[in-house]
Chain A
Amino acid sequence: MPTFAQFMRAPFARTNHFFETTKLGPYPIAWYVSGWRGGLLVLLAAILFPIFYDQTSIQPLLGDGIQVGIYVILALGLNVVVGYAGLLDLGYVAFFAIGEYVASFLTTGYIFSKLGQSPIIVLKSPMPFILIFPAAALFAGFIGVLFGAPTLRLRGDYLAIVTLGLGEIVPIFFQNVPWFGGNVGASVLYIPNIQLPSLVSSIVGFTTISLTPLLNKAGFYFLTLMMVVIVVLLTNSLRESSLGRAWIAIREDETAASAAGVNLVRTKLLAFAFGAAMGGLGGVLDGANSGSIVPTVFSFNTSITILIMIVLGGIGSLRGVILGAAILRLIDFTLLGQLNTFRQTSPLVTNIHGILHFLALPQFDFNQAKFLIYGLILLAMILLRPQGLLPDRRRQRELVGIGESAEAYSAVGLLEREEAGEGVSGTGSEDMTLFTGSGSDAQGREG
């Protein structure tokens, strides 16, 4: 643990001049928005922002917030597998699906009725809603171990393809075995009616309105936020635990890690289990939020969307992954609509012919181009800034001694570093121990 004095010492030697020097009270601005303080600020903003909106327009915004929260959880879970342990999982959506179906199974009895055991769909949860989270997480984690076990011997790219294959098989299973409702999907009819404690609700201002639980998203929003905080704290402490260091060791060099006494099988399986469990949590939240399961969501596109969130923000970086998830969801919710408006009003694009002719079509909707934009983001990040928007601090420290060429591939180097494995310098070690407590800083050095 760093001492308080060490903690105070300017951790921004190479950061933005403005943040470094402009003071706000006794400390530079950077001090306030870095590490856990920055996280706390973001959390406070997330808690308080409903106050500043009027009650009618807040509901869709809270809905967007819930979606962002769900994808933050999914991205953080995938980050454990891809970012920490360096195992590329292209079928992550399978665990998301499993979480949703577990929620359906536990809350509605719908699947029981399909089995013929009970003709009545149970409308009320047989168990407290909050207990569904650990149940789904445990079950998804168990499936994660089952999936991980046979694939552990495989090298990185083969592992990616195997997980992709498994990720395709699971939705086919759910869509075709009649118990699960086929292409229509199953129901998660029980939507939790979360009552806010009176003190909180009087502060936030929801006491004045009484909407049905389906419409009043505030309770569910705060539930999602709570789960996000739990997952953030969990993944952060996992990274700093002995297990997290073992993950990083096998990510850097499997053979060396094994020689140093890391149990490869157990460590990799735990990465799969933790990642899958968080995928399950996201699935429960999504199912409970929408009230029904749409099996078409469990496609390869969703797996890749979550991967793009990680690559965009910075593989292995907690704050980066959260930022990436938020950006991609906001593109989905806001930017595409703005582009539609722009396209309709701007005369620039009416004369386009050839392959881009769709831009001139009056009925063209930019939402159709969503995955094109995602693909461009993924390719651009890998080619131009593979370390992501907010790279992992430890990663950056390690790369200081390697030089320019290796740094260019730093983020992907997280996955598997055959080329630059020997270049890890010891110069950053002191700084590393210094900042183990703080997961983020304000503005990472721009590479």
Chain B
Amino acid sequence: MLEFAATNGGPVLFFQQLELGITLGAMYALVALGYTLVYGIIELINFAHGDVFMWSTVVLLLVSNALGLKGTLGGFALIGVLILFLAIGMAVSAFLNVSIERLAYRRLRKAPRLAPLIAAVGVSFILENIAQLTIGSGFIAFPPIFPTTALNIFGVKISILHIFIFGLAVGLMYALDRFIQTTKLGRAMRATAQDPEAAALMGVNVNRTIFMAFLIGGALAGAAGLCYNLVIAQVNFFTGFKFGLIAFTAAVFGGIGNVYGAVAGGFAIGIIYALSIQYFNFLPGGGVAWVDAIVFGILVLTLVFRPSGILGQQVPDKV
């Protein structure tokens, strides 16, 4: 495989794919944080989270059409549009995620564990298909508003857009870390994650904590939706299923319930994804055809051999 890599461009190609992987990883990490926040607090795999992310991409497409955006923007126009899109995307996904919690999951909180999971699958179906009815089943191009300028470092092209996305993701993650570690609500979230009943006895408003987890998770997914539209620029109703599953893999790989694990897992899975596309090209159909199978294979292997993930604690099963 190394020889194969060398014949295809050697280190330059490797670093080029690495750069793409880090960009993808930033997006996966943002979505994975939503999975891990919710799982950490109510132990629910929010199966609809990928579709919450997808709805951010869809709404941003509709907004960009309404604004009549076509080509590359510059200067203050670009900054203004980006801030607007970020606000809209985060608001849409946060609102959607919180509504789902309120309408579907809250009623099932005392139900057996698989009831909310099945409900989440139903919600995912509904969100996907409303999106399909809204924008059709094709892939719709998002206008390329961001300049395509790239830095060239020893032959490796690092685009400004990718740097922006990395910076945005890291900034949001830092804000989340500060929120969880320093604020009163953040402390309540950590307490609820450890032991909901004890936290409730200590005066923590558990409902508000769960609300916050869904709100923050949704907002991060909305930001990821903007990044996705800028990088991949193809809006489709089915994006959320696969993207969500890969982000969930990232959350599991890093250790579900652990926010640092979700970030580490997100970047790891992003890099594995980008490198697999390139270095598994010898498989029939090319690396692109198999990359999902490779990521899901990682998911299965992680869950089977180390369910706590690379950063998670080994926790015995609750009886």
Chain A residues engaging chain B, CB cutoff 8 angstroms: 88, 90, 150-151, 153-158, 160-162, 164-166, 168-169, 172-173, 175-178, 182, 255, 300, 304, 307, 311, 355, 358, 368-369, 371-372, 374-379, 382-383, 386, 405, 409, 412-413, 415-420
A255: chain B residues at CB < 8 Å are: 319
- B241 and A300 contact, CB distance less than 8 A: yes
B114: chain A residues at CB < 8 Å are: 88, 156-157, 160, 412, 415-416
- Docked CA distance A161–B297 (Å): 12
The answer to whether B97 has its CB under 8 Å from any CB of chain A is no
B252 to A, closest residue via Cβ? A161
* Partner pick for B112 among A168, A369, A418, CB 8 A cutoff: A418
User: What 8 A-B pairs are tightest by C-beta distance, nearest first?
Assistant: A375-B125, A378-B122, A379-B122, A372-B129, A176-B285, A165-B296, A412-B115, A375-B126
A158: chain B residues at CB < 8 Å are: 303, 307
Interface residues of B in 252-289 (CB under 8 A from A): 252, 283-285, 289
Q: Which interface class (under 10, 10 to 19, 20 to 34, 35 or more) fits B?
A: 35 or more
- A413 and B112 contact, CB distance less than 8 A: yes
* Partner pick for A378 among B125, B283, B292, CB 8 A cutoff: B125
The answer to whether B133 has its CB under 8 Å from any CB of chain A is yes
- A358 and B134 contact, CB distance less than 8 A: yes
- Docked CA distance A164–B133 (Å): 25
- B304 and A379 contact, CB distance less than 8 A: no
A172 to B, closest residue via Cβ? B293
The winner among B112, B130, B285 for most chain A CB atoms within 10 A is: B112
- Interface majority SS (helix, strand, loop, mixed), chain A: helix
A156: chain B residues at CB < 8 Å are: 113-114, 117
- B289 and A175 contact, CB distance less than 8 A: yes
12 A–B contacts from the bound complex (CB under 8 Å): A150-B304, A151-B304, A158-B307, A161-B45, A172-B290, A172-B293, A178-B284, A355-B130, A371-B128, A376-B122, A382-B122, A386-B111
- Interface majority SS (helix, strand, loop, mixed), chain B: helix
| A176 touching B122 in the complex, CB below 8 Å, given contacts A161-B248, A372-B130, A382-B115 | no
Number of A-B contacts defined by CB within 8 Å: 152
- A88 and B117 contact, CB distance less than 8 A: yes
- Docked CA distance A155–B289 (Å): 30
Taking A156-B113, A176-B285, A378-B121 as known contacts, 5 extra A-B pairs with beta carbons closer than 8 A to each other, sorted by chain A number, are: A153-B304, A155-B317, A160-B45, A165-B300, A420-B112
Least CB distance, B74 to chain A, in whole angstroms: 33
| A150 touching B290 in the complex, CB below 8 Å, given contacts A369-B133, A379-B123 | no
